[in-house]
Structure 1
């Protein structure tokens, strides 16, 4: 069982990463990742919806007929997104103002409905929760990485305004790097696509090198068998 959970986590973080492998949710990935803080906030909001929607779908999967499952999944996801949107508006109002419409657009994130249909509708609650968490963290990691690169090259900062957008507990993340930044193009939409392209190329390069690595052979002390 532990091996299965390990495979689920590995798939969500790397093998089936929402952005870097499946190429889904590129709209928020490009629009909100002008800073690492925005990417982290958007990723965590999406992760919450993924975990809760997977658990909800898994818990009622045996009660749904095939004809109505997709509309029911959409209603569940839309309800959870509304709850997340209202929670962020109440407790993370500054971040909510920055992310704006993209919080509501989590409803149409193909990755969330895709995981509900392909995994949660066929699995128990605990594996579904782990799948949602792994997929969400993989998505969060990709958005945060893109945002950090764009912020570093464009403004010379890392996690700017983290304390005001995410709360005082995130103040330790804020860094200012003198003499770095100034590449305004990286902050603009073309820069986002360029950063994503380099990250995709890097991921493919790592995977190719790993697949091309020689498989170690295990030596044995047994003498060869002769006819």
Structure 2
């Protein structure tokens, strides 16, 4: 079926590994560092970007032939801003504590390099369904890295995940101390660098063995 053609599968699957927006394209780094001190806001931010990227891709793809090229960036920003506003209001209504943690970073999704890049590079040149898959793939690829970094920082920095204590008290009784540096933005950069290094080392090795 055309819905599951190789092109569509690549649009969905490649951003999860071989063409990950953070690990390979090095986009969206700022928010990846800012919202990953705990796992919960990292998950919410990742899902928000996924939803906004997917639906903004679809909308721009549908209207792409009617958009004057001179104002295409403005139109893209208007579409994204409308979706970001909707998501922001929903977070305030149903997950207020997380929206407070995310603070201004939800609003800054409007200028997210990943999102604007996919609109310009993919949605403006492809039909709605492939554009939707591309948005989902890139959003999930972004979210996956946020979850990895957020989980590592919360576990090592607080001994918990999603607010639930994971490390047993007996470990602390033996002298273990939470690494307070993990809660600092600098450690997010270090962890992200380690993930990028591991990813590239693995795939370069795979390519070298072919």
Where does 1:87-102 land on structure 2 (aligned, <5 Å)? 87-102=90-105
| Residue number in structure 1 paired with 2:14 | 11
In 2, the alpha carbon distance for the partners of 1:24 and 1:202 equals: 17
Deviations 1:5-38 (A, max 9, x none): 2211222212221211111111111111011211
Where does 1:100-179 land on structure 2 (aligned, <5 Å)? 100-160=103-163, 174=164, 176-178=166-168, 179=171
- How much does 1:186 deviate? 1.5
For residue 24 of structure 1, the aligned residue among 17, 24, 27 is 27
| Residue number in structure 1 paired with 2:64 | 61
> Which aligned segments of 4 or more residues in structure 1 are displaced greater than 4 angstroms?
none
Consecutive unaligned residues in structure 2, runs of 5 or more: none
CA contact 2:39–2:151 (8 Å) conserved in 1: yes
In 1, the alpha carbon distance for the partners of 2:77 and 2:198 equals: 35
Deviations 1:83-118 (A, max 9, x none): 111111111111111111101110010111110010
3-state DSSP class of the match of 1:15? coil
CA contact 1:153–1:181 (8 Å) conserved in 2: no
In 1, the alpha carbon distance for the partners of 2:24 and 2:183 equals: 23
Q: TM-score, normalised by structure 1?
A: 0.85
Q: TM-score, normalised by structure 2?
A: 0.91
Greater helix share, structure number? 2
In 1, the alpha carbon distance for the partners of 2:191 and 2:177 equals: 15
In 1, the alpha carbon distance for the partners of 2:140 and 2:108 equals: 18
Tell me the matched-pair count: 201
* Bigger-Rg structure (1/2): 1
Q: Residue 181 and residue 153 in structure 1: after superposition, are their counterparts in 2 closer, same or farther (change >3 A)?
A: farther
3-state DSSP class of the match of 1:210? helix
In 1, the alpha carbon distance for the partners of 2:18 and 2:122 equals: 15
CA contact 2:155–2:166 (8 Å) conserved in 1: no
In 2, the alpha carbon distance for the partners of 1:107 and 1:120 equals: 16
CA RMSD of aligned residues (A): 1.3
| Residue number in structure 1 paired with 2:50 | 47
For residue 70 of structure 1, the aligned residue among 39, 56, 73 is 73
Greater relative CO, 1 or 2 (CA 8 Å, sep 6+): 2
Where does 1:79-90 land on structure 2 (aligned, <5 Å)? 79-90=82-93
